[in-house]
Structure 1
Amino acid sequence: MGRPSTREAIIEAARLLFGERGYSAVTVKDVAVLAGYSPAMVMKVMGTKAKLYVAAVPDVPHSDVLAGDGEPVGFALVRRILHRRREGESEPWSMVALLVRDSPDHGAAQAELRDRYVNWIAGQIGDTSPARQKSQLVVCVVMGLGAGIRVLGLLERDEMNDADLIRQYGALVQSVIDDPALR
């Protein structure tokens, strides 16, 4: 695979910075430096900081596609979060709350990301209920892990090894998925 396009490099840099610092604390210059381009190039490619922000909102954790790996979804979700921490990759589950809060259009960002994440989880766990309550609960539990690890620095690797965390937190997530009382 070759070098990412200018647009892709700018968006990835913005995604990392917005996820770490939020909208108001990131400048176009910050994004340009991280991406390896001039601020003028960032503006030429993206138009405005607000458009850059919208483009940088992470997709549903596409690297969390779980179909066919044989591991229960709850455990697989936890495993992917820990993998991203270990590899130093951005964490969509911890970024989503910050991205909504700092969005130039809070209501639109909230609706868009809520629907995107809940619908993605619903597809993973087979939740076809109209309210998708179970999917909403799973999103909350998984976002809690992502934010706890990345934002608060909880469950550091020297405190608890990944295998134990996958076993314990994965069981928690899976218990929500498997609960027959939730529809």
Structure 2
Amino acid sequence: MNEPSTRDAIIEAGRHLFGERGYSAVTIKDVATRAGYSPAMVMKVMGSKAKLYAAAAPDLPTSEFPHGMDEPIGFTLIRRILARRQADESEPWAMVPLLVQDSPEPAAARRDLRQRYVSWIAGQIHDTSPDRQKSQLVVCAVMGLAAGVRTLGLLGPEEIAEEQLVQQYGALVQGIID
């Protein structure tokens, strides 16, 4: 397996920290420490904290649906959130509200992230309606679970079995889709 580039390592460290703490609470030194580089290297590679923040915006969760998926989309979305929690990976769905709220340009971040996430879900669930209301509801439901389990630590494995949570919450999301 190849080592990530310096830029990729810095962006991933920023993504993780911004997702946990938000823009204001993260310093360049925090990102440098997590990435294993000096603060000077982070600044050289990224240029500024705002540019790092923009680069760390979560990618669309394209890995949500593995090829040959054998369960409904709503369940798979929930399963992937729980898998990322288990692996301590950054959670793009939980990061969205923080990225908007703490963005140097919140209105622009809101427009961009709203368009990206709603359009992506619409494509996955074949929502071609003009208002994409169904897609908006799915985005809200998935973001809510992601924030609850990652930010507040709700519904941990000691409180509910993972498969039970997938079945219960997945059914809610799938109900919106259907």
Check whether TM > 0.5.
Answer: yes
Cα distance, 1:110 vs structure 2: 0.4
- Equivalence map 1:3-14=2 (5 Å): 3-14=3-14
CA distance in 1 between counterparts of 2:159 and 2:65 reads 28
User: Which residue is 2:94 aligned to?
Assistant: 94
Letter matched to residue 115 of structure 1: Q
Q: Give, as a single letter, the amino acid of the residue that structure 2 aligns with 1:42.
A: V
- Deviation of residue 62 (structure 1)? 2.5
Residue 132 (structure 1) aligns with: 132
SS at match of 1:26: coil
Please give the alpha-carbon distance, in whole angstroms, between the structure 1 residues aligned to 2:62 and 2:152.
24
Given the two structures, how large is their TM-score scaled by the length of structure 2? 0.97
Query: Using the alignment, how far apart are the partners of 2:113 and 2:53 within structure 1?
Result: 13
**Per-residue deviation, residues 107-142 of structure 1 (Å, max 9, x unmatched):** 010011101110110111001111110000000000
- Show CA shifts across 1:45-69 (max 9, x none): 1111100100001111122135531
Task: Work out the CA distance in 2 between the residues paired with 1:159 and 1:30.
Answer: 32
Check if 1:156 corresponds to 2:164.
Answer: no
The 1-side partners of 2:99 and 2:67 are apart by: 27
Deviates more, 1:3-12 or 1:147-156: 147-156
Partner of 1:25: 25
The CA deviation at 1:38 is 1.0
Q: What residue is the counterpart of 2:168 in the other structure?
A: 168
SS in 1 for 2:69: coil
| Separation (CA, whole Å) in 2 of partners of 1:99 and 1:68 | 32
Q: 1:46 maps to what in 2? A: 46
CA, structure 1 residues 66+117, in 2 after alignment: closer, same or farther (shift >3 Å)? farther
Q: TM-score, normalised by structure 1?
A: 0.94
Q: Is there any run of 5+ residues in structure 2 with no aligned partner, and where?
A: none
- TM superposition shift of 1:174: 0.2
Query: Which amino acid in the other structure matches residue 39 of structure 2?
Result: P
Instruction: Tell me which amino acid in the other structure corresponds to 1:136.
Output: Q
User: In structure 2, how many angstroms separate the alpha carbons of the residues matched to 1:6 and 1:62?
Assistant: 23
Structure 1 residue runs of 4 or more that deviate by more than 4 Å after TM superposition: none
Describe the superposition over 1:21-66 as per-residue Cα deviations: whole angstroms up to 9, x where unpaired: 1111111111111111111111111111100100001111122135
RMSD: 1.0
User: How far apart in 1 are the matches of 2:156 and 2:10?
Assistant: 30
CA distance in 1: counterparts of 2:66 and 2:107, whole angstroms: 30
